Amino acid sequence: MEKVVEKTGKTVEDAVGLALSELGAARNSVEIEVLEEPSKGIFGLFGVRPARVKVICKEGNAQKAVGLLHDIFDCMKLEVNIQAREREQELLLDLAGKDLGILIGRRGETLDALQYLINLSVNKSREQKKKIVIDIEGYRNRREETLQNLALKLADKARQRGRNVVLEPMNAQERRIIHTALQGREDIYTFSEGEEPYRKIIIAPRK
**Mean pLDDT score, 6-21:** 90
Q: Which pLDDT belongs to residue 42?
A: 61
Phi, psi dihedrals of residue 167, rounded to the nearest 5°: -85, 165
User: What confidence category does residue 124 fall into, taking pLDDT thresholds of 50, 70 and 90?
Assistant: confident
Mean pLDDT of 95-121: 93
Select from 3.40.50.980, 3.90.550.10, 3.40.50.2000, 3.30.300.20 the CATH code of 61-137.
3.30.300.20
The H or E element containing residue 9 is: strand 2-9
Q: Which of 34-48, 89-103, 128-142 has the lowest mean pLDDT?
A: 34-48
Tell me if residue 183 falls in helix, strand or coil. Answer: coil
CB-count burial class (<10 Å; 0-12, 13-18, 19+) for 198: exposed
The residue among 146, 145, 159, 161 whose CA lies nearest residue 190 is 159
H helix or E strand, kind and range, residue 179: helix 172-182
Domain 141-205: give its CATH code.
Answer: 3.30.1370.50
- Tens digits of residue pLDDT in 140-171: 999 999 999 999 999 999 999 999 999 999 98
Kind and range of the H or E element at 57? strand 51-58
pTM above 0.85, yes or no: no
